[in-house]
Amino acid sequence: MTTLDAAGRAAAATHPAVADYLAHLEVERRMSAHTLDAYRRDLAALAGWAQAQDQGELLALDSAAIRAFVAAEHRRGLAPKSLQRRLSGCRSFYQWLLRHARIRANPATGIRAPRAPRKLPQVLDVDEAVALVEVPTDAPLGLRDRALLELFYSSGLRLSELRLLRWRDLDLAEGLVTVLGKGSRQRTVPVGSHACRALEAWRAEGVAGQRPGPEAPVFPGRGGAPISARAIQLRLRALGQRQGLFKHVHPHMLRHSFASHVLESSGDLRGVQELLGHADIATTQIYTHLDFQHLARVYDDAHPRARRRKGPVGD
């Protein structure tokens, strides 16, 4: 613990408003010890900074001081997500003080932490996706694995949507599947021909030689209930390794790969939004960045004057 951290903890611990606020969180809000400690650290950091900067006591800080505190924490190396949480903790403290008429305005209102860089999802390229879904069907559970992988990649389903599917949700003659997504929004999406054939073969094999009925889970686990999410995650990881992929294969990677490949071929962002069941197109727009990365690589590899130079440019 640094001297500044120690000073902050001491200042926060002895401040009556901080003590009252933490008691409110513990008794009235019934927050866990872990959450309480997080709020305590946030306020200790603010108190320590204010003391070190001769900014006065916590109740007298203004917006400029809070903004300077956020900048100082950022320079100190606090990650954007941690900084957002710290600022949220301070904002909640001042909001409670304002509600109890201990201050006239919340100095943390309207102040934002640096935005965390958004990580692009990792995807399989087309060759990797084909290598993954074409698992041998003569292996134990091979027909099930092929049907599960083909449907994941064919229709871009979420893990929860796939595991809860029942045979009545599939129209293999028309190549369609109807799922209940987030927010209880129902959507119908296409199922590719390879996936339809794999699902037909899996259904024909049946359980104990009997063809499943319309209410039966498409992918049953123990006792006939839908397979667990964890079982699917572990199976995909094992199948990825078996098929020689060096990436950590997981259910959402297949959904990302589906979206990226469809967008790359069609350029239809709205269409991909509908297929994925995104309520907001901003969620879908991340795949445009993936598509641009692909185009940038093609350009760099193909254009004779596009290859980026390494090292300093000569005179």
**Active-site option among 100, 112, 182, 185:** 182
Catalytic position from the list 158, 187, 237, 247: 158
> What φ, ψ does residue 263 adopt, rounded to 5°?
-65, -40
Look at residues 35, 50, 2, 41 and name the one whose alpha carbon lies nearest to residue 18. Answer: 41
158: annotated active-site residue: yes
Q: Which of 143, 132, 127 is nearest to 254 (CA)?
A: 132
Whether 287 is catalytic: yes
Question: Could you tell me if 165 and 218 are in contact, meaning their C-beta atoms sit under 8 angstroms apart?
Answer: yes
Neighbouring CB atoms inside 10 A of 13's CB total: 14
Closest CA to 178 of 191, 159, 197, 196: 191
What sign does the dihedral 272-278-282-286 (CA atoms) show? negative
Angle at Cα 148 formed by Cα 276 and Cα 181, nearest 5°?
Answer: 30
For CA atoms 103, 108, 109, 110, give the dihedral sign. positive
Active site residue 39: no
252 a catalytic residue:
yes
Asked about 278 being catalytic, the answer comes back as yes
Q: Which of 9, 255, 256, 261 is catalytic?
A: 255
Catalytic residue, chosen from 41, 197, 247, 278, is 278
> Nearest-5° angle of CA 216, CA 218, CA 222?
75
CA-to-CA distance for 157 and 89, rounded, in angstroms? 36
Go through the chain and tell me how many residues it has: 315
What stretches of the chain adopt beta strand conformation (E)? 170-171, 176-180, 186-190
CB-based burial, 90-111: b 16+ in 10 Å, e otherwise: bbbbbebbeeeeebeebbbeeb
Establish whether 250 is a catalytic residue: no
Please state, in angstroms and rounded to a whole number, the distance separating the CA atoms of residues 236 and 228: 13
Catalytic residue among 252, 289, 297, 307: 252
Catalytic residues: 158, 182, 252, 255, 278, 287
